[in-house]
Amino acid sequence: MTMNTIGEIFRLTTYGESHGAAVGGILDGFPAGVEIDVNFIQAELDRRRPGQSAITTARAEGDKVEILSGVYEGVSTGTPIAFEVRNENQHSSDYEEMKNLYRPSHADYTYQTKYGIRDHRGGGRSSARETISRVVGGAFAKLALKHFGIQIYAYTSQAGDIKLDSDYTKYDLNKIESNIVRCPDAEKAEQMIELIKSVKAEGDTIGGVITCVIKGVPVGLGDPAFGKLHARLGAAILSINACKGFEYGMGFEGVGGRGSQMNDRFANIDGKIRTTTNHSGGIQGGISNGEDIYFRAAFKPIPTLLFEQNTVDKAGNDAIIKARGRHDPCVLPRAVPIVEAMSAMVILDALLANRSAKL
Amino acid sequence: MTMNTIGEIFRLTTYGESHGAAVGGILDGFPAGVEIDVNFIQAELDRRRPGQSAITTARAEGDKVEILSGVYEGVSTGTPIAFEVRNENQHSSDYEEMKNLYRPSHADYTYQTKYGIRDHRGGGRSSARETISRVVGGAFAKLALKHFGIQIYAYTSQAGDIKLDSDYTKYDLNKIESNIVRCPDAEKAEQMIELIKSVKAEGDTIGGVITCVIKGVPVGLGDPAFGKLHARLGAAILSINACKGFEYGMGFEGVGGRGSQMNDRFANIDGKIRTTTNHSGGIQGGISNGEDIYFRAAFKPIPTLLFEQNTVDKAGNDAIIKARGRHDPCVLPRAVPIVEAMSAMVILDALLANRSAKL
Amino acid sequence: MTMNTIGEIFRLTTYGESHGAAVGGILDGFPAGVEIDVNFIQAELDRRRPGQSAITTARAEGDKVEILSGVYEGVSTGTPIAFEVRNENQHSSDYEEMKNLYRPSHADYTYQTKYGIRDHRGGGRSSARETISRVVGGAFAKLALKHFGIQIYAYTSQAGDIKLDSDYTKYDLNKIESNIVRCPDAEKAEQMIELIKSVKAEGDTIGGVITCVIKGVPVGLGDPAFGKLHARLGAAILSINACKGFEYGMGFEGVGGRGSQMNDRFANIDGKIRTTTNHSGGIQGGISNGEDIYFRAAFKPIPTLLFEQNTVDKAGNDAIIKARGRHDPCVLPRAVPIVEAMSAMVILDALLANRSAKL
Amino acid sequence: MTMNTIGEIFRLTTYGESHGAAVGGILDGFPAGVEIDVNFIQAELDRRRPGQSAITTARAEGDKVEILSGVYEGVSTGTPIAFEVRNENQHSSDYEEMKNLYRPSHADYTYQTKYGIRDHRGGGRSSARETISRVVGGAFAKLALKHFGIQIYAYTSQAGDIKLDSDYTKYDLNKIESNIVRCPDAEKAEQMIELIKSVKAEGDTIGGVITCVIKGVPVGLGDPAFGKLHARLGAAILSINACKGFEYGMGFEGVGGRGSQMNDRFANIDGKIRTTTNHSGGIQGGISNGEDIYFRAAFKPIPTLLFEQNTVDKAGNDAIIKARGRHDPCVLPRAVPIVEAMSAMVILDALLANRSAKL
């Protein structure tokens, strides 16, 4: 959670600006002996790629990942895994006039003030291209988690004002990838797609909510006090561009209820200690209890609008700004694999850390 | 965020079980030269103390803090500051029958499974007594932040189904401490208090929401990528016992809007670059922009109920459990100073880190 | 290695000034399920205690350790273990005149300049009393290492100009504790004791070398690149007060030889892959190879002399200083348990980290 | 010091195997606003390059560094700086027979056992090519340190049995680069070169010692307890391939003296508080005192010999091994820039950390 590194034992460190030479990262602490399916990693990356459908940005970035170290004859060796995606299709000139202007609700002003300098082209380091490294890191983590039977499903549960039921168990999570908005409810998905198209036509944007479900997590992951599993998940998810909120289990909605309604009673189910409900979201006292972990993440409407907005320039003078780049009208469909990726990395890290809990 | 330590440069490491000898912690990286007002620290601790009012637990814990190092002649020396609060008034026998039972929605089962052993008395390490150390750490942080003109206000904005308006600017934050529920709206406060009393009479519990506002933060705190300021705040707040969600700025509610509505335009106000609205919650691209930082945190109804619940014992056999200890019907009033404390520590840490951003 | 914390998974954070209320620390990441023999821990502490023999300082500090958390019914619970030793027998007035004077080769001047303030009494944080926490932390680590058959032996191999042979295999390591200088060669020990006594009579001091041997370490501890096992050991040992050098295996002496002489050939010995010599010191490429780990640490003559020395005061004026406290003429005998303690903590940390090396 | 990352605020994370696609790293926490002279960085890299002279390996690696991020229009931006050097001129077939053999005093056996897999080609991750990333990281650090007037000089002070005087003040440090062995004494340099040539002709190798002097360090860098400046330097230097020992100030040699001889008295020299001698090596109590910092590092004869040695294969069977690659007869000349690089990174990190010491 420090600067550009996340994780304690399994760690991802990332780099890269939108219009620089490349984006990429280094995975350290990835265990040896995991078979690395490069096609799977590239497929994960393709899930976040711009230009993948009619409701994403038209930028057609290829985004091919190259693995530079840490994998030998298709198996991880325990040494750091570096990877990179060279930047292409950069229209830096689209951003020339933004060199001295601060785009509303972007990071231009804060970066410029913090560092006294910024690479303004395409948002520089604050660009969503930074999430490429997260998806690659998450893909590696998923390959390791597969060995432990852990599976992660994220989906768009709200786009603009179109919402799914908050109970994920009502949906077939295997249907998420059957539509371009990544929503397991086919009917709502169609409505969301229509909404996004109409918003796009207006040059405006909408936000929404992503729900994530993690199945197969063993009992015991996460630490007391500050290293609680949901605190780690929350930090990871909140660090994704445009994320404004994180809630797990009963979340904000459930806090209005009574303890007697919300408590999860234990029962012996098929010889296992289980809970009969799961308002806890699979985590009790910061430690996984073996039930499904689930959480929701809020994403704001991205701030790049295709019409004029008032702003100021670096000197503080009034100015007008109008984006000309190619942008997403709604970040949700492409954020789904990013949410999964961050979750995968947190779970793998917690799983490795838990190996030291006992003598 | 690792195990029992939080922070990168300014760090708090905590210890202590509910019925052990003491709870306490070590503050490392606290800057030299800060005047340490021990009365202020104790007063902060008194704000979280059990038994402080008719709507908190009847346990009358004294909770006197002792500072063991790092302060000389009333000024911090730059060396680690250790502090402790000895545990008293422990009714360990209240918990004897819980040695082999798992309390619903508590951490008993997860601790036992993770570690193979637990101190069951009073919840052991998972007890809310652990938050004593957070409040003390936060009090030190507040003393340092005072030098930079940074102020933190948290308040109960929802208890059960009684809610305040989500716009904090409608309230006088100086009135928060004028009632026992710590709510700046006197009328709603009264309603909340009545609700909590009635819930307590039933042996049940309720949750709610705490809103926190941080004023005076300079532009530039927080890092790109994983160390975003709101990700650090989120991790810190989510690590508080019973917290189920965190949102900042427009939060979950705002994601249904359009970008054109939610963007914060820049303007030159009195010679300063400011935003005309603050949907961003004082943070853009993970870095503070000089506007008020504000966020909301969800707290579940605490799971200790004063009537019988079904559960299982360690062997997985069906059992009945009924709490006999003295417990809070609603965690919110006492959680207010904890939310402030965690925020203060995160902000101080980010402020110190920012000293290295530029040459 | 950051400020007052050492370790990655198993971590010790310490606090305390010489004449403050207490010295102590928090152990985090100590595995659950280790039987905690408090008598053993106290006995280790007694090995570093002042006043234990005719060749140490006459200060008769009791130094009783109290464990405050993390141990329940004699077994570690996996939660942080806090411990403290209250300071007693403080003659702060011995130090009054040193408030404004900088003792030669002490940390007075550097602390004062770094922090702008210091607790000058008894050396404050830079006092060797800080090593109490290290010995306690190391004693816990030894209790865990016992389960893995790992044993650590340190001894005084040089005091002033009296030296043992550099080959530790020539000595019976079980004889180390048979004399007050902690030297396995009885004859040399006698000479060392005589030398220390005569130096003490002069009010002067001497330094020396401690050799440490670690037996039973499995193959595989330590990491490539920066986390090499000997780099971690080196950092830990060099962080002990008065330590001026660290060498392992062939060390400085061996670098004058040829590769053909110094290489350790592999051989199959009793069905195990072993090396026929051990110039590598049990570590190859930063990773333990299963042979004995051994290293040497240089300790300077401590700078507190019982006669007048030239110095300056805080304002930079010439001054004369003469220590009046009670001090050790030679730090070596009491440093032996500290070297063992630091080694034990590094090895336990590396052992836990290695659990994540493979899938 | 964790795995493949070094540093707390300014951090280098490295990756890369000898015969993989590339070696490189990410620098995080490098301050914004530093002018980046790419030619200087490449020149530093050229100082460690194989094939640079008659006494280094004949491998003629080009080793051109590419900077991928974090630098915009020639100035650092505060965001992570990634860099890479593509591997070329790999004779992997030279290593084919070593796939199943363990080279004596190399890391083959320990890596294989730790991870269950290794990239054997050219030593894989344990190859000295890993130090490329260190030199690049150090070059960046030097560019930042220049702004503070801090200069670092390392030189070969011993090769085999040819030694310089241990007092570095006897030499003109500007003459270091005037010969291929990087020794400021022209006569001794000539002898060293002759020795290395003759050793090379035998197919054997020699080790030696590098002395390093750091000038211009302000008072106050380094932390009490575990983060002592010399402990950080020691860990950094000991982590360099083939390093067997580290000593600073009086080192091992000085511990035989008396305190009365070794103490550094303070005096007011030209209005500044200085010490009249410097046995402390510029560090007192772990904190820099403004005097020159100096230390010595021992490097073993590298273990790759061009004649037959006994060893075992992976199955534990007796075998004969003979290196056929192109190797250095003496690591010292090329290790000089690596020692400087590690020192530069530690000093910059400590300098940034010190900005938080006081309010």
| Interface size, chain A vs chain C, as Cβ–Cβ contacts under 8 Å | 49
**Any residues with CB less than 8 A from the CB of A43 and at least 6 apart, and which?**
none
- A267–B299: do the CB atoms touch at under 8 Å? no
Q: Quick one: C5-354 is in which CATH superfamily?
A: Chorismate synthase AroC (3.60.150.10)
Q: What is the DSSP letter of B88?
A: -
Maximum distance among all alpha carbons in chain D?
A: 70
Mutate to test the interface with C, among B14, B87, B117 (most CBs of C within 10 A): B117
Rounded to the nearest 10 degrees, the angle between the axes of helix B38-48 and helix B131-146 is 140
- Mean pLDDT score, A255-283: 96
Cross-strand bridge partners of residue C5 = C2, C13
Min distance D222 CA to chain B CA atoms (Å): 12
- Mean pLDDT score, D76-91: 91
Task: Kindly list the distances between the CA atom of residue A83 and the CA atoms of A34, A74, C132, D26, D238, in Å, as whole numbers in the listed order.
Answer: 16, 15, 45, 12, 28
- Mean pLDDT score, D134-156: 98
Tell me whether residue A272 is exposed, middle or buried, using C-beta atoms within 10 angstroms of its C-beta: 0 to 12, 13 to 18, 19 or more.
exposed
pLDDT of residue A262: 95
Among the listed residues B340, B332, D229, B302, the one whose alpha carbon sits nearest the alpha carbon of residue C114: D229
Predicted confidence (pLDDT) per residue in D345-359, tens digit: 999 999 999 999 999
Exposure class string for A13-52: b at 16+ Cβ within 10 A, else e: bbbbbbbbbbbbbbbbbbbbbbebeeeebeebbebbbbeb
Contact D133, D12 (CB under 8 A): yes
Task: Kindly list the distances between the CA atom of residue B24 and the CA atoms of A73, B20, B130, B135, in Å, as whole numbers in the listed order.
Answer: 51, 11, 8, 10
Among the listed residues D143, D151, D150, D134, the one whose alpha carbon sits nearest the alpha carbon of residue D31: D143
pLDDT at C1 over 60: no
- Mean pLDDT score, C196-203: 94
- Please, which chains are in contact with D (at least 3 CB pairs closer than 8 A)? A, B, C
- Mean pLDDT score, A241-269: 96
Q: Tokens standing for D284?
A: 């007192």
- CA–CA gap between residue B278 and residue A105 (Å, rounded): 9
Predicted confidence (pLDDT) per residue in A2-40, tens digit: 799 999 999 999 999 999 999 999 999 999 999 999 999
Q: Give CA torsion, residues B102, B104, B110, B116, to 10 deg.
A: 0
Q: Tokens standing for A31?
A: 């265990």
- Mean pLDDT score, B186-211: 96
Question: Of the ranges B10-14, B233-237, B324-328, C303-307, which one carries the lowest mean pLDDT score?
Answer: B324-328
Identify the residue whose tokens are 């490392």: B28
Predicted confidence (pLDDT) per residue in D331-348, tens digit: 999 999 999 999 999 999
Predicted confidence (pLDDT) per residue in D28-61, tens digit: 999 999 999 999 999 999 999 888 888 877 666 6
- CA–CA gap between residue A330 and residue A328 (Å, rounded): 5
Among the listed residues A87, A49, A118, A86, the one whose alpha carbon sits nearest the alpha carbon of residue A328: A49
- Mean pLDDT score, B283-287: 97
- D357–B224: do the CB atoms touch at under 8 Å? no
- Mean pLDDT score, B277-296: 98
- CA–CA gap between residue C263 and residue D305 (Å, rounded): 9
Restricting to C residues 16-55, those with a Cβ less than 8 Å away from any Cβ of B are: 16-17, 20-26, 28-29, 32-33
pLDDT of residue C347: 98
- Please, which chains are in contact with A (at least 3 CB pairs closer than 8 A)? B, C, D
Side-chain-side CA neighbours of B50 within 13 Å: the count stands at 21
Among the listed residues C239, C312, C42, A256, the one whose alpha carbon sits nearest the alpha carbon of residue B207: A256
- B352–D353: do the CB atoms touch at under 8 Å? no
For CA atoms C275, C281, C285, C288, the dihedral sign is positive
Min distance B232 CA to chain C CA atoms (Å): 20
Residue C173: what are its φ and ψ, rounded to 5°? -70, -15
pLDDT of residue C96: 76
Contact A221, A228 (CB under 8 A): no
Cross-strand bridge partners of residue A82 = A26
**SS3 category, B206:** strand
Among the listed residues A160, A210, A186, the one whose alpha carbon sits nearest the alpha carbon of residue A340: A210
**pLDDT bracket for residue A325 (50, 70, 90):** low
Among the listed residues A185, A229, A177, A240, the one whose alpha carbon sits nearest the alpha carbon of residue A207: A240
Instruction: For residue B292, count other CB atoms closer than 10 A to its CB.
Output: 16
pLDDT of residue D325: 65
pLDDT at C323 over 70: yes
- Mean pLDDT score, C263-280: 96
- C352–A356: do the CB atoms touch at under 8 Å? yes
Contact B295, B155 (CB under 8 A): no
Among the listed residues C29, B349, D191, B261, the one whose alpha carbon sits nearest the alpha carbon of residue A104: B261
> What ipTM score was computed for the predicted complex, to two decimals?
0.97
Min distance D147 CA to chain B CA atoms (Å): 8
pLDDT of residue C53: 84
Side-chain-side CA neighbours of A331 within 13 Å: the count stands at 28
Q: Tokens standing for A129?
A: 């291209």
Across chain D, mean pLDDT equals 94
- CA–CA gap between residue B206 and residue B327 (Å, rounded): 12
Which residues of chain D lie closer than 8 angstroms to B359, CB-CB? 31-34, 144, 147
**pLDDT bracket for residue B92 (50, 70, 90):** low
Q: Tokens standing for A255?
A: 């806090």
pLDDT of residue C60: 67
Residue B259: what are its φ and ψ, rounded to 5°? -55, -40
Predicted confidence (pLDDT) per residue in D104-140, tens digit: 999 999 999 999 999 999 889 999 999 999 999 999 9
- B106–A285: do the CB atoms touch at under 8 Å? yes
Instruction: For residue C320, count other CB atoms closer than 10 A to its CB.
Output: 9
Amino acid at A280: S
Kind and range of the H or E run holding C230: helix C229-238
**pLDDT bracket for residue A62 (50, 70, 90):** confident
Q: Tokens standing for C31?
A: 């595995």
- CA–CA gap between residue B120 and residue C252 (Å, rounded): 54
Among the listed residues B285, B145, B268, the one whose alpha carbon sits nearest the alpha carbon of residue B217: B145
Helical spans, DSSP H, in A56-185: 108-115, 131-146
Tell me whether residue A283 is exposed, middle or buried, using C-beta atoms within 10 angstroms of its C-beta: 0 to 12, 13 to 18, 19 or more.
buried
In percent, the amount of chain D with pLDDT more than 70 equals 97
- A4–D17: do the CB atoms touch at under 8 Å? no
Predicted confidence (pLDDT) per residue in C116-165, tens digit: 999 999 889 999 999 999 999 999 999 999 999 999 999 999 999 999 99
Among the listed residues A147, A145, A168, A130, the one whose alpha carbon sits nearest the alpha carbon of residue A19: A130
**pLDDT bracket for residue A1 (50, 70, 90):** low
Question: Of the ranges B177-181, B260-264, C95-99, D345-349, which one carries the lowest mean pLDDT score?
Answer: C95-99
- C357–A78: do the CB atoms touch at under 8 Å? yes
Min distance A73 CA to chain B CA atoms (Å): 32
Among the listed residues A359, A344, A138, the one whose alpha carbon sits nearest the alpha carbon of residue A221: A344
- Mean pLDDT score, D277-305: 97
Side-chain-side CA neighbours of C146 within 13 Å: the count stands at 13
Contact D211/C at CB under 8 A: no
For CA atoms B358, C2, C5, C7, the dihedral sign is positive
pLDDT of residue D354: 97
The residue of chain D with its CA nearest to that of C242 is D285
Tell me whether residue C271 is exposed, middle or buried, using C-beta atoms within 10 angstroms of its C-beta: 0 to 12, 13 to 18, 19 or more.
exposed
Contact D68, D82 (CB under 8 A): yes
- Mean pLDDT score, D189-194: 97
Question: Of the ranges B22-31, C201-210, C234-243, C312-321, which one carries the lowest mean pLDDT score?
Answer: C312-321
pLDDT of residue C11: 97
In percent, the amount of chain A with pLDDT more than 70 equals 97
Predicted confidence (pLDDT) per residue in B26-76, tens digit: 999 999 999 999 999 999 999 998 888 888 776 666 899 999 999 999 999
Q: Tokens standing for D77?
A: 């931006």
Predicted confidence (pLDDT) per residue in C224-260, tens digit: 999 999 999 999 999 999 999 999 999 999 999 999 9
Contact A82/B at CB under 8 A: no
**pLDDT bracket for residue D1 (50, 70, 90):** low
Across chain A, mean pLDDT equals 94
**Any residues with CB less than 8 A from the CB of B96 and at least 6 apart, and which?**
none
Angle at C135 between CA C130 and CA C136, to 5 degrees: 100
pLDDT at A270 over 60: yes
Predicted confidence (pLDDT) per residue in D197-223, tens digit: 999 999 999 999 999 999 999 999 999
- CA–CA gap between residue A130 and residue B228 (Å, rounded): 13
Among the listed residues A238, A63, A60, the one whose alpha carbon sits nearest the alpha carbon of residue A139: A63
Domain residue spans of chain A: 5-354
Predicted confidence (pLDDT) per residue in D311-338, tens digit: 999 999 999 988 776 678 999 999 999 9
Q: Tokens standing for A262?
A: 């919300």
Contact B319, B312 (CB under 8 A): yes
pLDDT of residue B284: 97
Q: What is the DSSP letter of B303?
A: S
Q: Who has greater pLDDT, D88 or A208?
A: A208
Q: Give CA torsion, residues C46, C49, C51, C55, to 10 deg.
A: 100
**SS3 category, A357:** coil
pLDDT of residue C325: 65
Contact A49, A88 (CB under 8 A): no
pLDDT of residue D20: 95
Predicted confidence (pLDDT) per residue in C71-120, tens digit: 999 999 999 999 999 998 666 676 777 889 999 999 999 999 999 999 99
Min distance C74 CA to chain A CA atoms (Å): 15
The residue of chain D with its CA nearest to that of C102 is D266
Helical spans, DSSP H, in C125-181: 131-146
pLDDT of residue B325: 65
Predicted confidence (pLDDT) per residue in A168-181, tens digit: 999 999 999 999 99
**SS3 category, C248:** strand
Q: What is the DSSP letter of C326?
A: -
